[in-house]
Amino acid sequence: MWRLGCIVLVIGWGLGSELVGKAWATNGALDQEEAAVESPEATPTEGREEAAVFAELWWLTDYAAATERARREAKRLFIYFQRPGNGTCREFEEYSLSDRAVMESLRSFVRLKVPIDVKIEREGSRVKLLGQSAYREMLGRPGVAIVDWASQGQAFYGKVVSTFPFLGQEPYGPEEVLAMLQLPPATLTQRTLIYAVRTHPDRPASTDGKLDPYLCQEAELHATYQARIRLQGHHNWERRFHRINRTLPRGLVACEVCAESWPGQNLVEAAIECVRCWRLSSGHWSAVREKHAVYGYDMKRGRNGVWYATGIFGRRW
């Protein structure tokens, strides 16, 4: 039994996460230079960090030092949370993280491998990393998280911008990991919805253009509004349509798609469900599959446990 959780309005021809808690080394603040490592491919004996050779790349194993290094080098931090001895984790390591294209893309990240029960020093106490609110969408499971220490000056700088927990017995494949690594700089919810679009089997092209900060802001505002009133729809679209059009380059006109998830779905599941719903509607899919010069996506969760997704595009007319 399927549920079409979306409606479409493609108009234009008529009507016109939280900041990752400051990580602390066990012997003091990470501001101390001696807590850092020197080179991305440093040997395990350099500095005071422990590192592991994994999938032919060096992986750090200390969260505080990896965080400081990513911050200092203005890179994104790729965190692999693993459960030792777990079959899904072993398959992920041997099949996905060992893929040549994945390894090449990972070289631009600071890479960290830690067990799911790893603890960090915070405000004088040892606390479980996956128990922190910034990582709640990891659901306490093995998987991948990304923290953005590259986008200085952006609202999501220093925040968790990707969470991809393992949701079943099958790990993420190489193509899915590459999609994670190639997501544009944006917030956690924006990137997750973009990931769901890009990994849909039909390979829709709406995210092949430029991610537009203003359209992302408009998508965030409308997703937030739907979540607040707990009702999906193109509310106040005519007013928003004219406002958005005033910002678009000449020859482009605004169009919008909306969808909602099932109650109680986690972030990744909800994003995939919203894209699935768009696929069930020819009107929605014509907008989602088309390549647009500029686009914005976002999704927000209401108190009813439903996620509300919005995509806004600058469509040629």
Find out whether 81 and 145 touch, Cβ atoms under 8 Å: yes
Instruction: Give the residue among 263, 262, 264, 255 at the shortest CA–CA distance from 289.
Output: 255
Residue type, 239: R
The phi-psi region of residue 38 (left if phi > 0; otherwise alpha if psi is between -120 and 50; otherwise beta) is: alpha
Query: 163 lies in which domain range?
Result: 24-183
How many other C-beta atoms can be found within 10 angstroms of the C-beta atom of residue 40?
Answer: 16
Let me know whether 127 and 33 are in one domain: yes
Is 169 in the same domain as 28?
yes
Question: Residue 20 has what pLDDT?
Answer: 41
- Shared domain for 163 and 290, answered yes or no, is no
In a shared domain, residues 87 and 213:
no
169 and 75 both lie in a single domain: yes
Domain stops at, among 153, 183, 213: 183
> Within this chain, do residues 241 and 97 fall inside the same structural domain, yes or no?
no
Tell which of 183, 216, 235 closes a domain. 183
Assigned domain for 193 exists = no
- Whether 36 and 172 share a structural domain: yes
Q: Does 188 reside within a domain? A: no
Structure tokens at 149: 């220490």
pTM for this structure?
Answer: 0.85
Do 95 and 241 fall within a single domain? Answer: no
| Same domain membership, residue 235 and residue 177 | no
Task: Kindly report the CATH number assigned to the domain that includes residue 98.
Answer: 3.40.30.10
In a domain, 191, yes or no: no
Say how many domains are in the chain. Answer: 2
Considering only CA atoms, which of 78, 162, 155 is closest in space to residue 114?
Answer: 78
In this structure, are residues 289 and 300 in contact, taking their beta carbons and an 8 Å threshold? no
- 160 and 80 part of one domain: yes
Which of 183, 213, 228 is the last residue in one of the domains?
A: 183
d(CA 211, CA 209): 7
Helix axes 188-198, 267-279, angle to 10 degrees: 50
Each residue of 98-120: b (16+ CB within 10 Å) or e? ebeebbebbeebbbbbbebebeb
Q: How many residues does the chain have?
A: 317
Each residue's pLDDT expressed in tens, for the chain with a length of 317 residues: 344 444 444 433 332 333 343 333 222 222 222 222 233 333 333 333 434 445 578 999 999 999 999 999 999 999 999 998 999 999 999 999 999 999 999 999 999 999 999 999 988 899 999 999 999 999 999 999 999 999 999 999 999 999 999 998 889 999 999 999 999 999 999 999 999 999 999 999 999 999 999 999 999 999 999 999 999 999 999 999 999 999 999 999 999 999 999 999 999 999 999 999 999 999 999 999 999 999 999 999 999 999 999 999 999 98
In the prediction, which pLDDT does 38 show?
A: 30
**Residue 238: phi, psi to the nearest 5?**
-60, -40
The residue written with tokens 């965080």 in the block is 67
